[in-house]
Structure 1
Amino acid sequence: MGSSDVPPPSAPWWLIPASTALLGSGIVCWLACYVLMTRRSLATHATPIPLVPLGINLAWEVVYALYVTEAPLELAGFALWLAFDVPVLYATLKTAPRSFASSPLVARNAASLLAVVFAFSLAGNALFAWWWLAEPHRGHGLKWGKVWNGLEARDTTELAWWSAGVAQMAMSVGALSMLLQRGHSGGQSYAIWFCRFAGTQLGLPGTCVLLWWYWPEAHGFVFHPLSIIIVGTSVACDVAYPFVLAHVRKTERVLPDGTVVAGIPATAEDHAAGDKKRN
């Protein structure tokens, strides 16, 4: 976001191209993440993403693709996100009955639950974006040079920071919680985690901290207490994720059809029996 912004004379000429390049790199990482999610989900017969974060993410992408974005590059990025998210949605709904076998109500109504989350998130994101862009200087600091559809002092970068930040926090917390609850890596992998983590850091903190460094008047929101909570929670969950993934992979079992199930950790008695057998 913000590829049409006009920074102050004190900022270097390359600031907007560099921030746009960081955002583009984040988009590419997330596209790779969607591809890997779909493949891993169908191979292991497990949902790749929790239902609530998926509904929030889809709604956010729709609102920004149809309403907020104006530059061709930004529109292309959101259009690609939506296109690559469709297979993720398909894989999630296809594997939901097996993934939620222990919760028959959820298994039978996964599509309906996802639709409800999507509808509420769509309304929430649309209303928030409309309110934010209705008046100049919404947000933190002075917004001169922030242009949206020819209107001065409308900061889509900060708008995206808050809305995408909440969506990403839900994604990070949900992914870690799902891994802990399942106890296996079905639908998950180190490559998925890396692309998701790298894409988020490049597209959100990376882009906005760079803008703050050279244009602090309009980007002080990156150090707002609420920002610390949102970004800090996401980063903490994402940093913990690969260690939890390594832990569950030690005990999981892979069935002949590719399904991954949680294993039973060896007890002290099992180790003692094994030592006795070897002796």
Structure 2
Amino acid sequence: MTWLPPFLFPLSHVPPVTVGAADVPDWLFALVAGPTVVGWIVTYVLAIRQAARDGRVGIPAFLIAVDFAWEFSLTFLLEQTPQQRQINFLWVLFDAVLLYQALRLGPRDYPHLSPRLVRWALAGVLVWASVIVMVGANEFHDDDGMYTGMFIQVPLSASFILMLKRRGSSAGQSMYIAVAKAVGSLFAGLTAFAVHPDHHLLQVLVPTYVALDIAYLVLLHRAMRAEGRRPWAFRTPRAGAPGASAPRVRVPQVTEVTEAPQSDDATP
């Protein structure tokens, strides 16, 4: 007999990870998976465009390496469902451009480090993440990338907030990137709920990164307003450019005071 009180929650008799995917109708899968694919493609395209305009990566550099590792590994290296491999292949094409931008522009976010060191660190993260994704997917028998994908989503969403804070400006970022990313991630979570309703870990991870996405939207909107940028203008001068509008500062009016003329009888 143990002196500890009885536990409150017993382990599942059947490990949820061993429960197979639900039989989801094709129309329902298309309804939730379609916006996931489109949302992330739009995110990638807008991030590439913004990085070209601002000279700063639109997605945190080290998470680009992780994202590329996930998509490349689950497309070309590890067994996955045919449908998921086709989706991943589309994403990896755009992510390859983002990875090139990360290697070229990423060091600007780490001025205290040499560009060479940052690029080697990015390469190291890419290799490490590829191994983790493959081992993790094999460990969970994650043949559609749900577990590994949801694990990546949480630090990815948090990294956008950290990127905004580290830069101290909205350079390389836009509300449209943030919205497209939030929509793609939200529907990825809904896809996970539909396909794996018994996988309770996913039911914790998804609300976590959705909350982080909402927080980033609010913080980015405030930052752009403070900089004098119009958050929802698609064509605006890049952050910090000479043509960008500056925050409005109210300058108090100064009333000129003149001395009253002194009379000849005034005491000096």
Tell me which interval the TM-score lies in, with the shorter structure as reference length. 0.7 to 0.9
Three-state SS of the structure 2 residue aligned to 1:33 is helix
Q: Report the TM-score when normalising by structure 1.
A: 0.71
User: How far apart are 1:17 and its partner, in Å?
Assistant: 4.1
Aligned counterparts of 2:228 and 2:120: Cα–Cα separation in 1: 31
Matched ranges for 1:17-28 at <5 A? 17-28=27-38
Three-state SS of the structure 2 residue aligned to 1:104 is coil
Three-state SS of the structure 1 residue aligned to 2:253 is helix
Cα distance, 1:6–1:206 mapped onto 2, change above 3 Å: closer
Q: Does 1:183 align with 2:168?
A: yes
User: How far apart are 1:99 and its partner, in Å?
Assistant: 3.3
Matched ranges for 1:5-44 at <5 A? 15-44=25-54
Q: Which moved more, 1:62-71 or 1:166-175?
A: 62-71
User: How far apart are 1:20 and its partner, in Å?
Assistant: 4.1
Conservation of the 8 A alpha-carbon contact between 1:65 and 1:78? yes
User: How far apart are 1:170 and its partner, in Å?
Assistant: 1.3
User: How far apart are 1:265 and its partner, in Å?
Assistant: 7.9
**What residue ranges of structure 1 are gaps of 5+ in the alignment?**
134-154, 213-218
Conservation of the 8 A alpha-carbon contact between 2:53 and 2:238? yes
User: How far apart are 1:181 and its partner, in Å?
Assistant: 2.0
Q: Which residue of 2 aligns with 1:94?
A: 104
Q: Which moved more, 1:28-37 or 1:44-53?
A: 44-53
Q: Which residue of 1 aligns with 2:74?
A: 64
Cα distance, 1:228–1:206 mapped onto 2, change above 3 Å: closer
Matched ranges for 1:264-279 at <5 A? 271=250, 274-277=251-254
Q: In the alignment, residue 104 of structure 1 is paired with which amino acid?
A: L
Q: Which residue of 1 aligns with 2:94?
A: 84
Correspondence for 1:209 among 193, 202, 211: 193
Q: In the alignment, residue 227 of structure 1 is paired with which amino acid?
A: L
Cα distance, 1:68–1:25 mapped onto 2, change above 3 Å: farther
Q: In the alignment, residue 86 of structure 1 is paired with which amino acid?
A: A
- Structure with larger Rg: 2
Q: Report the TM-score when normalising by structure 2.
A: 0.74
Correspondence for 2:139 among 104, 110, 131: 131
Cα distance, 1:98–1:21 mapped onto 2, change above 3 Å: same
Q: Which residue of 2 aligns with 1:240?
A: 215
Three-state SS of the structure 1 residue aligned to 2:161 is helix
**What residue ranges of structure 2 are gaps of 5+ in the alignment?**
1-19, 230-236, 257-268
Aligned counterparts of 2:217 and 2:164: Cα–Cα separation in 1: 10
Say which structure is richer in helix: 1
Aligned counterparts of 1:70 and 1:228: Cα–Cα separation in 2: 22
Q: Which residue of 2 aligns with 1:147?
A: none
